[in-house]
Structure 1
């Protein structure tokens, strides 16, 4: 890692906090720790963190509640830790905004790899609000036009096609990255901005909805292609003005 990212570890077990602090600092990360949501809140009020490692089972407010509260005001990456192994716990964590999920007991090196992966995705891809602040006013693709100011989509015949807020964010993500394979994780990151309410399991459904609006034959898509094992790709040239 080129920069010293600031990590917040929230866990009620002191041995885990100390272990992670020592290990992560040895690998170039700056680490603060908190034993519960109260201590976490005090640290976040005075410091900026690049990633939070958040235990699911905490005294007072649990990790799910804290994750939901953080996500309501911030898109800081969150990795959930838990001793519970049921799939429903993982799903709930992701649905409330966690970026990844690591069950206990875990190998610190695996957690470090997850941290690097999440940070790489988070800082490499701009959020929706960041895209809108730098994006062109008008995108043109396959005889379609998208106006980013009015959020109006115009088909090849000139008719307007209504888009939901989430469909707009998804289309903008593809237009900003034409002919680039975007994984579900990339797409999730890209659409997590103002007006977007989507989680990993909904990506495929959202893609299907957008295809029905812009593809001549949604069952045989030519614009938004499925890349098996990779994700999705907008397969056309894009110009802007």
Structure 2
């Protein structure tokens, strides 16, 4: 059974949500203290439901602090339905924003949808050695950030997106505006630097050059 953490100061509402989700095989632990929520171990939980109108600390600040310590999915559930609150909540790390009042069936549908996306991403991450971290503007190899420069990221991310298919030198250069020179040697130097950053974690040659065709990424 999936476990959810509900951070909500309206006890009557929280109990209704807890009972409703329990009927759908979701166990909900309730917490009405934002400070206690911030020190609660999050490992047992699959998702957080977060109210904004909390005592002692604004829910947006709670969301910001939670996101600093974990990538756990967060759905904000709040009577505060201004566009500013919605935008801010999503910008600081919430995955969804559901204004109150709402139909509990919609809450369940959103929880199910978010958990499916998270599980799909997790499965894809387990299958692939290379992953693009768009927010950090970097590529992750076997969970190790490669700490790429702008030009290296532009080239490496294109190779990752091709998922094993060949991409021509011309296309790589076109998609890498950070490479000031359009000469092949500039691209070769970038490829060499990417290989060097992968090498500490694998003895395998992951970027293969194909004469007259271009480059291909091998997982």
TM-score by length of 2: 0.62
Match of 2:129 in 1: 135
1: CA distance, partners of 2:51 / 2:164: 35
CA RMSD of aligned residues (A): 3.6
For residues 17-28 of structure 1, the aligned pairs below 5 Å read 17-28=14-25
Q: Which residue of 1 aligns with 2:195?
A: none
Confirm whether residue 60 of structure 1 aligns to residue 47 of structure 2: no
Ranges of 4+ aligned residues in structure 1 off by more than 4 Å: 146-153, 167-173, 175-178
Q: Which moved more, 1:77-86 or 1:109-118?
A: 77-86
Determine which structure has greater relative contact order: mean sequence separation of CA pairs < 8 Å that are 6+ residues apart, divided by chain length: 1
Q: Is the 8 A contact 2:76 2:89 kept in 1?
A: yes
Kept in 1: contact 2:159–2:217 (CA 8 A): no
Q: Which has more radius of gyration? A: 2
Instruction: Show structure 2 runs of 5+ residues with no match.
Output: 132-138, 166-173, 178-214
Alignment-derived partner of residue 176 in structure 2: 213
Q: 1:20, 1:108 within 8 Å by CA — same for their partners in 2? A: yes
1:8 Cα shift? 0.6
Q: What CA distance in whole angstroms lies between the structure 1 residues aligned with 2:116 and 2:163?
A: 18
Report 1:124-163 matches (<5 A). Answer: 124-126=120-122, 130=125, 135=129, 148=141, 161-163=151-153
Query: How far did residue 173 of structure 1 move?
Result: 6.6
Q: How does 1:17-56 map to 2 (within 5 A)?
A: 17-42=14-39, 44-45=40-41, 48-56=44-52
Q: Output the CA distance in 1 between the equivalents of 2:71 and 2:92.
A: 12
Count the aligned residue pairs: 164
For the pair 1:240 / 2:203, whether they are aligned, the reply is no
1:128-160 deviation digits (Å, cap 9, x = unpaired): 9x56x95169xxxxxxxx99575669xxxxxx9
Task: Work out which of the residue numbers 110, 121, 136 in structure 1 matches 2:106.
Answer: 110
Alignment of 1:76-87 (within 5 A): 76-87=72-83
Give SS of 1:126's match: helix
Judged with a 3 Å threshold, the aligned counterparts in structure 2 of structure 1 residues 73 and 239 are, in CA distance, closer, same or farther, namely: same
